[in-house]
Amino acid sequence: MLVASQLLAGLGVASGVAVGGLLAEELSGTVVVAGLAQTSSVLGAGLWAIPLARLAGRRGRRWGLGCGYALAVAGCLLVLGSAALESVVLLFVGLAAFGASTAAGLQARFAAAELTTAAYRARALSVVLWATTLGSVLGPNLSEVGARLGERLGIEPLSGPYLFSVVAFTAAALTVAVGLAPRPVSTAAGLPAPASPVEQLRFGAALRLGLANPLTRLAVVAITCSHTVMVGVMVMTPLHMGHLGFSLDLVGLVISIHIFGMYGASPVMGWLTDKISAVGVLLVGVVVLAAALVLAALADEPSMLVISLALGLLGLGWSAGMIGGSALLAGSVAPEAKVSVQGAADAVMNVAAAASSAVSGLVLGWAGYPGLAAVAAVVLAPMAVLAVLSAVRPSAGPGGGAPASDRPQRSRV
């Protein structure tokens, strides 16, 4: 059921994200506001991460995931209303609710990790991410179809793809509600319950707990940096391609290539993480992301090949950073505190990515696409430094310099 819901959610997210910035630019008439609109979606994912994680800790993953997709349905309806009313403010609110789908989709990877032993943890969460591939690759290619549908229905054509998102998120919510058992996280899949009840830590306490552990600190930095770099470049690519004269179909194709890079190789990254180490996969992610940024810096001319390669590698580097970092995070926190720490980590990741999305519009307007790649390289630096240091001085424990162990480290608040 997790696999099916991820496929549907991927379709819903990708249908909307491919045209969100273009719709904002259409309503506002400015590139800067287009970047801020995408920021609303990413920031919404960060803000919803904590309450959805807390709900999952109290009631089980079914509630956390289902409510996330239900919120996304409401967000899509608000986006459709914003286009009808030509209201940029309502668009921002709708995209913030739309971001709950991303928060739920990311939470699903930790739900998968709870269904298996530590030796297969990374592969389990990678399969759930991989399930997003089909829907995510198909979604952007429905942009033109959605636009024509919107035109036929007499609504703003660029809001048409959100009709597909409504259907996809509704189906994902129903799939989770019907298919996932309503048991609490602490006893999921019949695994041993933690030594003490699942703690509902506040954001600050959960973040301090995570950062006190060197392995968890690397995990948080890795998923934050890789996600922030990916979002900052990806959200401005449709606008950049539009300015270069590419059609909406070609924009959708490039975003599909990017999303396929994000999710298509997930099982390979999961296998490598389990067999080699999370740190090794994080180093691979740094190298691939750096190569993507070099190509992006060269994509200031209308070259479909260069842009496609840059976005494909950007997605592949994100996959390595997300899976390596998530496996490290899932295995380096005491079971009774893991849901709170995971929620805090996802919140930090998405808020940082939201800031990146906001700034990326300004950078694109002032320094162009090469300047955007240069700023992204600076964001990548902390992940690179910590991953190299951890490889040189591997920490004892799960997912660090060796394959994961069944004994998570316990940190003091």
Q: Is residue 322 part of a domain?
A: yes
> In percent, how much of the chain has pLDDT > 70?
85
For the cut 80, the answer to whether the pLDDT of residue 385 exceeds it is yes
Q: Is residue 191 part of a domain?
A: no
Integer Cα distance of 32 and 29 in angstroms: 9
In angstroms, the Cα distances linking 64 to 176, 201, 344, 349 are 10, 16, 15, 18
- pLDDT tens per residue across span 95-122: 999 989 988 888 887 777 776 777 777 8
What pLDDT sits at residue 200?
65
pTM of the model: 0.76
What pLDDT sits at residue 405?
39
Integer Cα distance of 65 and 53 in angstroms: 9
- pLDDT tens per residue across span 143-168: 778 888 888 888 888 888 889 889 98
For the cut 60, the answer to whether the pLDDT of residue 279 exceeds it is yes
Note whether 165 and 97 are within 8 A (CB). Answer: no
Lowest-confidence range among 31-40, 224-233, 254-263? 31-40
Q: Is residue 404 part of a domain?
A: no
Q: Which of 217, 275, 232 lies closest to 402, judged by CA?
A: 275
- pLDDT tens per residue across span 234-249: 988 888 888 888 887 8
In angstroms, the Cα distances linking 352 to 2, 24, 159, 220, 400 are 27, 21, 27, 12, 24
Please state, as a whole number, how many other Cβ atoms lie within 10 Å of the Cβ of residue 93: 18
Integer Cα distance of 135 and 238 in angstroms: 19
Integer Cα distance of 197 and 379 in angstroms: 37
Q: Is residue 401 part of a domain?
A: no
DSSP state of 394: P
Q: Is residue 213 part of a domain?
A: yes
What pLDDT sits at residue 411?
39
Note whether 340 and 352 are within 8 A (CB). Answer: no
Domain that holds residue 34: 2-183+198-392
Number of domains in the chain: 1
Q: Is residue 315 part of a domain?
A: yes
Integer Cα distance of 88 and 219 in angstroms: 36
Q: Which residues contact 212 (CB under 8 A, 6 or more apart)?
A: 411, 412
**Burial class for 131, CB neighbours closer than 10 Å (0-12, 13-18, 19+):** buried
Q: Is residue 356 part of a domain?
A: yes
What percentage of the chain's residues is helix, strand, coil (to nearest 5)? 80, 0, 20
Q: Is residue 409 part of a domain?
A: no
Give me the mean pLDDT over the 363-369 stretch: 88
Instruction: CATH number of the domain at 56, please.
Output: 1.20.1250.20
Return left, alpha or beta for 17; rule: phi > 0 is left, psi -120 to 50 is alpha, else beta: alpha
